Structure 1
């Protein structure tokens, strides 16, 4: 979600949000009792430094954390950037369904490194796919982090046709039936 001309606006639904909502309705709605509506998805739009404007070039905080410093975080410092449903006690309450995209910070914690190919971590799938973390803004183009088909993190124009991998948060009362979380023995809930 975004608002043209605003750093933290949440007025306009993105195309990806529509795809995620449709996918949730078709594939996950019947499991709603197992999906957390309290947890959210962080689209951190804070800047690395300076002030935001709709002109010029700016680096977002995730770029500084991941490309410059290699220091990912799970903290979402601005509640207007924490996408939650209306039933959550936190965040911006702008989601129709409790579904989002992975953040670039989460990809980094799993083994995806900015500008460094890696085909040996569990998020690697030989395909390009979006994260929900903005990278930078330049020449009137918004760039968002994505996982490249080589397994690295990079940024690209939001208009590029890249895949998505939906993410949910499992409810805290859901028990693990079996598995150990590896690709050969995934958790079964």
Structure 2
């Protein structure tokens, strides 16, 4: 059992080291987009599937509630929380449309979309990015592996340099927390 624990910890350390070496500048740019979006009175809209849906909800809650610093609530919206919308859209249009229909109805020019997909290829995330581009949203991806199809649609795609889904997911929540800290620094 201890061998498993050591292996998981060492895998995390290896991934975080790669992230430290490659992601500081793109993460700062993504945080700047989020700060600019909120300063301009726009909102941050987040979405993803499975664990990425949970991360989207987590980050949205850090914005509407607080991260570490007492500040006013900020407009963060996770598209993964409205079961009526998800199931109606999924039933009527198909699961690939559950996010783009919501982006179409809720997003405005200048909003920031953050789509989360460990593979970078989730069709429903890509579809939402396409609609967001048409509206005039800024687009940030949290992905892994080689960034997948998201590379084509993101202003900034934060690609975790790993093929291991758990390590990618761990870095995604770290990215979200880091962006929230920078937001707190700038907007408190």
Which TM-score applies when normalising by structure 1? 0.31
Greater relative contact order structure (CA < 8 Å, 6+ sep): 2
Q: In proportion to residue count, which structure has more helix?
A: 2
